[in-house]
Structure 1
């Protein structure tokens, strides 16, 4: 049976008006279109709904049975559609976002602050996790979406780059490499490095850049948090290659930051489950994070994604 919503609405109009022309006027259809719709409905149901004469339209027993129940059903359907449509206009609720640690520390605070200003009815809940756990949370539907570093083996996720973040050298201010305005990758050869460990989404990119540019280094320490890396550098254990966004906005007393040449960048990406679009409320936060990233590019000169 292939009964359409339009056919049912046309029948209800005829049942109320008991006249094809007046029913058509009420719902914006011509009299022939109304008649055709009723015939199609009767054909689908296999029963006559109306008795037509030149002077009036009367409901058959089957037509009366349908009309009695149709008003309530269509009213409930209309209310349901209004309720669902209201979700698209909703401005209050909770949106859960997972992000990897360096982004949680140096991108997401601005996003949460902007959400509080622009969308005061939305509570942005941040889950700060290592990258693989962020991706797992997105896949499991635990969060609305994630903010990560260009993930591998993630064809099941929709990915949208929002920012490119360059890698930089971090060293003590008195270190020989800190004397130059910028440092070439091969100059790192032979020097002990303190790096983020492989749970970081950035580590594989750093390793690849070191190898690609001929920097042969010993990794003295591998650590899970950027703050610990900086403390190790201060203690003289080594120098580091870090993403620029991992650095506090005001810098770190006693440490120098220098661009690495040629420039190597990591892509910061928003991800959600493919074929499962975020809710309208989550879409508002997704767009807001885009805007914050665009503002960072303008203010700090970071390349666009």
Structure 2
């Protein structure tokens, strides 16, 4: 039994055909070494002979395969052994050079990541860091395809092939031009906002629709007047720019005001608009390298219990 045989079974279970498993393995390989479907089939056949069991069976009339009952039972052990072998290989590698890639929304990158990225480069200057800005849906796709090592997503994934670990939760705030009337109110409420021109995000059909939360908050509050929305735009940076220009007051996620480069004031109104969250998104079989561990702990030490479970071979 060797690591390549275990790897072949893991990829076959995930992809469903030898052809797709070979393609996915090539995409994920650091050496970009192509392995033929026939070679993967040979590796699994050798594993079956050693174990004395059948690990998969073909679906009639199709090239797709499914794992047998014994195959499913052995798969969990295969994943655990494979992860440990990869971790040991990474730990004992002579060179510490490499690459770490992840995807996140522009908002998260701009306001939460500059300091962790700076510290990461100080600690591991030999590691190339690749940061990709993407929409919430594209983040999930990039993680699932293996294009990036992990994602920082704004909602849990669809399906159960990815792990999601909450990192940050935050609410919404109102931003105003400097010295605005709202900043002088002791406890401004939603009813107070309807008297001012509002600048808000455009509706977004994605599962992380911040505009929907704002609209729902006004409906729940049963305010006496319809909110006076004078401008809709696609991101919070534009909202801050228009607020600074004196066009109105804006409603944005609290994350977007962690770093302020505009002449505006921030008014906190409690939890009327609900909360948003950002979480780690990673494939279940993904090896946690030293570089990835270091970066996640720079984001937050709350990842440590999850990292320990993963490194000990436990998932979810």
User: What's the TM-score bracket when you normalise by the shorter of the two chains?
Assistant: 0.5 to 0.7
Distance 1:265 1:82 in 2: 40
Per the alignment, residue 78 of structure 1 pairs with: none
SS at match of 1:150: coil
Per the alignment, residue 87 of structure 1 pairs with: 90
Matches within 5 A, 1:25-64: none
CA contact (8 A) 1:195 1:223 kept: yes
Give per-residue Cα distances to partners, 1:19-72, cap 9 Å, x unaligned: xxxxxxxxxxxxxxxxxxxxxxxxx9xxxxxxxxxxxxxxxxxxxxxxxxxxxx
Distance 2:117 2:262 in 1: 24
**Aligned residue pair count:** 215
SS at match of 1:143: coil
Distance 1:223 1:214 in 2: 25
Structure whose alpha-carbon radius of gyration is higher? 1
1:282 to 292, 296, 305: 292
TM-score (norm 1): 0.60
Per the alignment, residue 119 of structure 2 pairs with: 114
Per the alignment, residue 169 of structure 2 pairs with: 164
Distance 1:153 1:212 in 2: 28
CA contact (8 A) 1:165 1:245 kept: yes
TM-score (norm 2): 0.58
Matches within 5 A, 1:215-230: 216-230=226-240
Q: 1:114 to 1:205 in 2, by over 3 A?
A: farther
Please state if 1:176 is matched with 2:186: no
CA contact (8 A) 2:167 2:302 kept: no
Distance 2:143 2:275 in 1: 24
Per the alignment, residue 96 of structure 1 pairs with: 101
Q: 1:218 to 1:135 in 2, by over 3 A?
A: farther
Structure 2 residue ranges without an equivalent (≥5):
3-49, 51-83, 305-316
Distance 2:160 2:193 in 1: 35
Structure 1 residue ranges without an equivalent (≥5):
5-43, 45-80, 295-305
SS at match of 1:231: helix
Matches within 5 A, 1:1-305: 85-88=88-91, 91-151=96-156, 153=158, 155-199=160-204, 201=208, 202-214=210-222, 216-247=226-257, 249-250=259-260, 252-253=262-263, 255-262=264-271, 264-273=274-283, 275-280=284-289, 281-291=291-301
Distance 1:100 1:250 in 2: 18
